[in-house]
Amino acid sequence: MSMRIALDAMGGDYGPSVVVPAALSALRDHADLELVLVGVEDSIQGALREHGLENEERVSVRPASQVVSSEDDVSQALRNKRDSSIHVGANLVKEAEVDGFVSAGNTGALMAISRLILKTLPGIDRPAIATFLPTRDSRVLMLDLGANVDCNSDHLFQFAVMGEVAARAVYGVEEPTIGLLNIGEENIKGNDVVKVAGQLLRDSEMNYIGNVEGRDIFTGKADVVVADGFVGNVALKTSEGTAELLGHFLRQAFSASWASKLAAFMAGRVLKDFKRKADHREYNGAMLLGLNGIVVKSHGSADSYAFSRAIEVAASEARHSVNRRITHEIQQMLEVAE
Amino acid sequence: MSMRIALDAMGGDYGPSVVVPAALSALRDHADLELVLVGVEDSIQGALREHGLENEERVSVRPASQVVSSEDDVSQALRNKRDSSIHVGANLVKEAEVDGFVSAGNTGALMAISRLILKTLPGIDRPAIATFLPTRDSRVLMLDLGANVDCNSDHLFQFAVMGEVAARAVYGVEEPTIGLLNIGEENIKGNDVVKVAGQLLRDSEMNYIGNVEGRDIFTGKADVVVADGFVGNVALKTSEGTAELLGHFLRQAFSASWASKLAAFMAGRVLKDFKRKADHREYNGAMLLGLNGIVVKSHGSADSYAFSRAIEVAASEARHSVNRRITHEIQQMLEVAE
């Protein structure tokens, strides 16, 4: 069974010059993959020729005359750019012409347009942005990363269900443990929203392990960490900022003197191993979970390797029928609750 | 003019065995410093003898028969342990017998007891926990780190005033820039509480630079970063968790093989430089700002070096009359607003 994924060729900082080589690498890795490049035809064709893909049967082009930029106001983009590559890509998902859509475009616009066109899954009030992050020995799925800035307890509960299904389906964790991001481990900690969400999770069939603190996100204590989008976004970006600061200090230490530069040379291979381990490109591709269709957001500054990881995420979601399983699980829980 | 600081000898994971050597080092560094050790007399005297401090004139002991543990319920500790080292220490501040109090005890209990005994400064509704964190070239003061889990816009505004004064007074930044922790840079981003707080800050005389994202905390974009206590706590701990994960990966890379162990040996000095730069002990000592008296919280697992840094913070707050200046600044703003 072949798999078709649409790619927003215009999104992100680099457009087709990153998306096309990423497509090439994804096609090499997966014989059953077909890709539909969405965007301004001329620029896509140019990039395809450059990479020798102009006659590739597994690649097709779907024109879209408009581009949503990162500066565009979301509501403007929603209404006035109906032939944007995001609109066209989301419509391909809706019409079931493709199994998923990947875009490195404006996150707010991608979410708003996808939601307008695809709607949410039955039982889900709000879609959430979810991504895998590294832990010491494995991975953790964290959501919401910024789609919802004022969540109530039901929303957090729904995020937990979606995260649980996605961790199981995409990453193959058998009974994913769920943690609620909070400021202490005890049940009495935190604000009212997380306290009530904790109660809902304790009452559920899910493998809920209680609160996790910011420090525990990366220890692997939970397979899925659930947070309000404001908190999750701050946590994700603070983590990125910390990694950048430490990388800066490390480079500074290794370039401070002749002797330290020599040490850097000696340790070159080790530092490369370390860099690969901590490489955030490996984790590129955030799932917009809860939409009635698969949409994946790539980082705006992703290079072609990172973008190809995002294609993998979309393909994996489709292959494992994540949305059908979320719908099923939510329905079951609603029946139990009745 | 001499300076007197009370130390909770019973707080934290190690009690007098960490507090007494920290006291010794602080006394060595500051000829004008006097210390009052608060807690169970026998254990304190034992530790003093061990470090040759039993006849030191600049050290005195103030007995407290009870100890608040990290497991103690805050309200229980508040009511039933009135002779705890925290109660006694906070009372010493209240009676102006000392200029400040440092404790590595239970954060919730320290805040609740201090607030009950000392009350808040005029114009301040809620105290906040603030700490300095490293940036590429300097430091940033971040608050609140967990004292308040449901802040409104006025609270955030008051945190900004307190943070601005503390950054100026304690760290000597002339016109501290203030940033509001948010999920995007534009004014329209975030939840209603931060949007209104942003408006209050724009209307103020403070050097407000707008929203900062989690990623920017450590770039030095703002001298003071203001957040709700839930968000600030998650950000701080996520940053600690990220640093631990990267440290783990780095150790792993340097111990993977014979060759990498040799490289680690060669790079020993550089790695030490890096470690010192990223050493969180340097930043130990969180100010409980907004209380009518100086109280500093040391990390529970602080060693004596880290605890001595917390003593420095309290001494510095006292030396620069942080509380008098906060009161003055808040009064001025209230007058302008009238």
Which residue in chain A is spatially nearest to B238 when comparing CA positions?
A214
Within the 217-276 window of chain A, which residues sit less than 8 Å (CB to CB) from chain B?
217-219, 227, 229-231, 233-246, 248-250, 252-254, 256, 259-260, 262-264, 266-267, 269-271, 273-274
- In chain A, which residues have their Cβ closer than 8 Å to the Cβ of B137? none
Interface touch A230/B190, C-beta < 8 Å: yes
- pLDDT at position A190 is 82
Considering only CA atoms, give the Rg of chain A: 21
* Alpha-carbon distance B250 to nearest alpha carbon in chain A (angstroms): 6
What count of Cα atoms within 13 Å lies in the side-chain half-sphere of residue A125? Answer: 12
* CB contact (8 A) between residue A230 and residue B183: yes
Q: What is the residue-level pLDDT of chain B in tens, covering all 338 positions?
A: 689 999 999 999 999 999 999 999 999 999 999 999 999 999 999 999 999 998 999 999 999 999 998 888 888 888 899 999 999 999 999 999 999 999 999 999 999 999 999 999 998 999 999 999 999 989 999 999 999 988 999 999 999 999 999 999 888 888 999 999 999 877 777 888 999 999 999 999 999 999 999 999 999 999 999 999 999 999 999 999 999 898 888 888 888 888 878 877 777 787 887 777 777 888 899 999 999 999 999 999 999 999 999 999 999 999 999 999 999 988 888 777 66
Per-residue buried b or exposed e for A212-238, using 16+ beta carbons within 10 Å of the residue's own CB: bbbbbbbbbbbbbbbbbbbbbbbbbbb
Q: Which of B230, B267, B277 sits opposite A191 (nearest CB)?
A: B230
The minimum CA-CA distance between A227 and chain B, rounded to whole Å, is 10
Per-residue model confidence as pLDDT tens digits over A52-87: 998 999 999 999 999 998 888 888 888 899 999 999
| A172 shares contact with chain B (CB less than 8 Å) | no
Query: Is B301 within 8 Å of chain A by CB?
Result: no
A75 touches chain B (CB under 8 A): no
A252 to A28, A247, A276, B215: CA distances (angstroms): 39, 8, 19, 19
Q: Are A218 and B254 inside 8 Å of each other by CB?
A: no
Residue of A nearest to B216 (CA): A241
| Interface test with chain A among B74, B152, B185, B245, by most A beta carbons within 10 Å | B245
User: B136: helix, coil or strand?
Assistant: coil
ipTM of the complex in this document: 0.89
Whether B9 and B44 have beta carbons less than 8 Å apart is answered as yes
Q: What amino acid is encoded at B317 in this protein?
A: E
Res A215: pLDDT: 92
Q: How far apart are CA A133 and CA A135, in angstroms?
A: 7
In this structure, which amino acid lies at residue B2? S
End-to-end CA distance of chain A: 38
pLDDT for A337: 63
Side chain identity, residue B283: Y
CA distances from B257 to A262, B249, B261, B269, B274 (A): 20, 14, 6, 20, 22
The Cα–Cα gap between B301 and B322 comes to: 27
Side-chain-facing half-sphere of B94: CA atoms under 13 Å: 14
Pairwise CA distance, residues A21 & A3, whole Å = 19
Taking an 8 Å cut-off on Cβ atoms, the answer to whether A190 and B230 are in contact is: yes
Q: Does the beta-carbon distance from A235 to B235 stay under 8 Å?
A: yes
Q: What DSSP letter does each residue of B236-255 carry, written as one string? A: HHHHHHHHHHHHHHHHHHHT
Residue B187 is predicted with a pLDDT of 72
CB contact under 8 A, A245 and B269: no
CB contact under 8 A, B269 and A249: no
pTM: 0.91
State which residues of chain A have pLDDT below 50. Answer: none
Question: CB-CB: which of B183, B263, B273 is closest to A146?
Answer: B183
Retrieve residue A136's tokens.
């010491």
